[in-house]
Structure 1
Amino acid sequence: MSQENRRQQAARDHLWMHFTRLSSAADHEVPVIVRGEGAYIWDDRGRRYLDGLAGLFVVQAGHGRAELAEAAATQAADLAFFPIWSYAHPTAIDLAERIASYAPGDLNRVFFSSGGGEAVETAWKLAKNYFKLVGKPMKHKVISRAVAYHGTTHGALSITGLPPLKQQFEPLVPSTFRVPNTNLYRAPVHGDDPEAFGLWAAEQIRVAIEAEGPDTVAAVFLEPVQNAGGCFPPPPGYFQRVREICDEHDVLLVSDEVICAFGRLGHMFGAERYGYQPDMITCAKGLTSGYSPLGATIISDRIAEPFLHGDASFAHGYTFGGHPVSCAVALANLDLFEREGLNQHVLDTEGDFRRVLDGLRDLPIVGDVRGDGFFYGIELVKDQATKETFDAEESERLLRGFLSTALFDAGLYCRADDRGDPVIQLAPPLVAGQEQFDEIEQILRSVLTEAWSRI
């Protein structure tokens, strides 16, 4: 048996892949990715694919960056591990200072975790702890948006607005509530007026806070561009009104930027792009470009202040939070960002990317193209004129029965998703350019044309 075939069998027998139907391996090979370079990846059979999802919205700097691997090796040789439980080490200190220098406003404290879900968990626990310390112990509830994904730990999953992801794990943590998202394409009101729709959507947060009682609501969790459902950017004025509502009711605004931070939208943080000031930012993924796991919750001075006195302590932490090697990789990654101007590259070329994707609107299956930066969703429909979507059985056949495999076989790794209406999501590494944009368009055009012929 060849090594490739042996690994295939071992994958079927021993590897529990995440968010994957294990039955799918019974009659299909498990894709085994062995290396990457720039915007491309290769499998164990030598086939090349364009990485249209940056791994999982992660590999901002592109694959194969030797300097990031070297930073990890150098740090591991000096200090491979030490916790930041009452101790510190140089890379955690330096990275916290660096992140604070980028963060907007008074977000000056950085709490490290292993990844994004842990960062969200941290933010919720900290919000509840903060309000207890300032004499408002009833404030513990969280508002988030419909179809939004915030993580898989019990707390983060409770904040998540995707019922199919939650049902098999219930009961979850109580006291979380959903409001409408900013899907302008399917806006229930003001669909022809983005600003009016944005203000309406923001007002639904006020309605939810007042319905639950402002003295019980601790935080609102929002992504700058909502990922699940297919990239919903904020309408004009939306975040500004949300900020006002949160201030009126003393509710913390948490900007969940696990995907949107570190260049995905052309800025270090999405809050900068859309001009709002959060009380906390959660981030991960692009912080290290995926070369080592790391997450962070960035916290305002106001929230940190009660913990600076007496015996107050945030009784929370993670063994691998602030890992020395991960912090060293993050510092090298941020050096690379600055040296190569990755944020500016996204701002300079996002219009080219959008124009290429907008060109797909001539296909009858394409209903909407939306997003910002290097972060786009293409919604698929049965009828462009009426925006009729696919039912569950049709979506299953379209996405899992054809598109996911066909796109990969054609050389494009991306996501065909139906958490909400059926979409194709695209988020290439930030080093991508016109050549990759055109390649994405050509593959999508060919595969979507065939998909339409099968409907």
Structure 2
Amino acid sequence: MTERALPPEEASRLQSAATQHLWMHFTRHGDLPETGVPIMTRGEGVHLWDADGKRYIDGLAGLFTSQLGHGRRDLAEAAAQQMGTLEFMPLWSYAHPPAIELAERLAGLTPGDLDRVFFTNSGSEAVETAWKLAKNYFRLTGRPGKHKVISRTTAYHGTTHGALSITGLAGLKQPFEPLVPSTVHVSNTNAYRASELTAGALEVTDEQSLERFGRWAADQIGLAIEAEGADSVAAVFLEPVQNAGGCFPPPPGYFQRVREICDEHDVLLVSDEVICAFGRLGHMFGAEHFDYQPDMITTAKGITSGYAPLGAVLASERLMEPFLQSGAMFGHGYTFGGHPASTAVGVKNLEIFESEGVLEHVQQHAGTFRSTLERLLDLPIVGDVRGEGYFYGIELVKDKTTRASFSAEESERILFGFISKKLFEEGLYCRADDRGDPVIQLSPPLIAGPEDFEEIEQILRHVLSEAWTLL
């Protein structure tokens, strides 16, 4: 479907300027197509349009971000109104109304006593902040040796040096080593690969074996803490549903066991919800969805539905207490953290969540999203469909019986050389990823419904069926 396109001369000018001057993120510039950089010019609802006027369904919510969809005037007007009143004021010993109001609203929504809000600009900065806060907290409370972090293999936690150190993706980290020391990685919760992760000791075939695998995976955290020494470990960083690798939900009881382990060893549990918060799983926070109590939540993305950059660390009152002493200070911050326009958009975003019943919409349609995607399991190339809410991964295999994955050459040729490009050509914006095993990731705006799910499934079916013939 097409609509008005940019004038050819304007499209050509932008293409030339992009090629010569724009350094894009996570982009193989040497491998860009002959047609140049895809240039997106407009968005409305769950759809995007490019410079040629072609329409795409946004199957990734921008980047797990556009919760309320594109083109909302009310969110744009909230930013504009704030800019016309107070365009900038840092939160360095001063405050402004939208930051105060958003912090109050967030404190009222978080599980437990996570009543303190430290604003950042992004998810990476939120993770960086949480690690620094954990170390500073233990130093102020007389345990300066507690500084290490435990996270999971294949997990992505951000690109700043600290967040990248916590990340469990070796290939992403190697170009920037040496990184921050003191990070330890344990098994993730990929139940589809449970036999491989446990060296054949466990295979998930039913609910009971899934629970056993969850207990095993949680206990790996306890073993890592004991191996490092509990007096040296500050925090465990976990996503409610792990993103990288293709959406690994926690087995039943997993987070409850992790909470027990953290309490036993006086280690902070950080729920990294840069993706999973603000309705992505059908609740405001992923910890609420899976019924566990973290000591901190890191978040960003959906906090403004992508209409302005903003992140936050939501911390328990216990972590704030040492900093309330006379002369104490958390010596950390960002010039634009809690920017007036961004926090004003955040306030409006939460108002819309409530007035339009966004969480209820996701809860109503999440089962349909799952069942629609699960129809793809009849394709020989689809090994697993997994996820939660509006957040799913489709793992691709070359043999469903043995669960054999793609080789590096096959990933390059099939996943990136064909599937990724073909999905986009067919009008679906999503993500093909091989950080771990090859997957297609889907995370549509939270306003998406059954008709959108059908369109996504049909495009995937067509492209994946063709991809199978290339293996």
Q: TM-score range by the shorter chain?
A: over 0.9
The TM-score, its normalising length taken from structure 1, stands at 0.99
* RMSD, matched Cα: 0.7
Match for 2:411: what amino acid?
Answer: S
1:328 pairs with one of 344, 352, 365: 344
Match for 1:215: what amino acid?
Answer: D
Q: CA deviation at 1:2?
A: 1.2
In 1, distance between residues paired with 2:190 and 2:242?
9
Match for 1:11: what amino acid?
Answer: A
Q: Deviations over 1:19-59 (max 9, x none)?
A: 00011236342110001000000001000000000000000
2:132 pairs with one of 116, 125, 132: 125
In 2, distance between residues paired with 1:90 and 1:114?
18
Paired residue for 1:106? 113
Q: Deviations over 1:180-233 (max 9, x none)?
A: 000000003242311000000000000000000000000000000000000000
In 2, distance between residues paired with 1:81 and 1:351?
43
The question of 1:5 aligning with 2:20 is answered no
Conserved? CA contact 2:383–2:394, under 8 Å: yes
2:236 counterpart SS class:
strand
Moved over 6 A (4+): none
Paired residue for 2:3? none
Q: Deviations over 1:126-172 (max 9, x none)?
A: 00000001100000000000000000000000000000100000000
Conserved? CA contact 1:190–1:196, under 8 Å: no
2:398 pairs with one of 376, 382, 388: 382
Paired residue for 1:422? 438
Paired residue for 1:295? 311
Paired residue for 2:78? 71
Q: Deviations over 1:395-445 (max 9, x none)?
A: 111111001110000000000000000000000000000110000000000
Paired residue for 1:207? 223
1:306 pairs with one of 310, 319, 322: 322
The question of 1:221 aligning with 2:237 is answered yes
Paired residue for 2:204? 191
1:191 counterpart SS class:
coil
Paired residue for 2:262? 246
Unaligned runs of 5+ in 2: 1-7
Paired residue for 2:58? 51
Paired residue for 2:279? 263
Match for 1:108: what amino acid?
Answer: D
2:211 counterpart SS class:
helix
In 2, distance between residues paired with 1:334 and 1:35?
24
Q: Deviations over 1:247-274 (max 9, x none)?
A: 0000000000000000000011000000
1:358 counterpart SS class:
helix
1:94 pairs with one of 101, 106, 109: 101
1:93 counterpart SS class:
helix
Conserved? CA contact 2:67–2:447, under 8 Å: yes
Q: CA deviation at 1:334?
A: 0.6
Paired residue for 1:393? 409
Paired residue for 2:465? 449
Match for 1:338: what amino acid?
Answer: E
2:243 counterpart SS class:
coil
2:56 counterpart SS class:
strand
2:240 counterpart SS class:
coil
1:2 counterpart SS class:
helix
In 1, distance between residues paired with 2:416 and 2:232?
42
1:81 counterpart SS class:
coil
In 2, distance between residues paired with 1:160 and 1:12?
31
Conserved? CA contact 2:272–2:298, under 8 Å: yes
The question of 1:35 aligning with 2:48 is answered no
Worse-matched range after superposition: 107-116 or 182-191: 182-191
1:164 counterpart SS class:
helix
In 2, distance between residues paired with 1:280 and 1:27?
46
Unaligned runs of 5+ in 1: none
- Counterparts of 1:127-166 in structure 2, within 5 Å, are 127-166=134-173
1:215 counterpart SS class:
helix
Q: CA deviation at 1:5?
A: 1.2
Conserved? CA contact 1:255–1:281, under 8 Å: yes
Conserved? CA contact 1:12–1:25, under 8 Å: no
In 2, distance between residues paired with 1:241 and 1:256?
17
In 2, distance between residues paired with 1:90 and 1:285?
21
Worse-matched range after superposition: 202-211 or 5-14: 5-14
In 2, distance between residues paired with 1:250 and 1:398?
46
1:61 counterpart SS class:
coil
In 1, distance between residues paired with 2:292 and 2:432?
31
The TM-score, its normalising length taken from structure 2, stands at 0.96
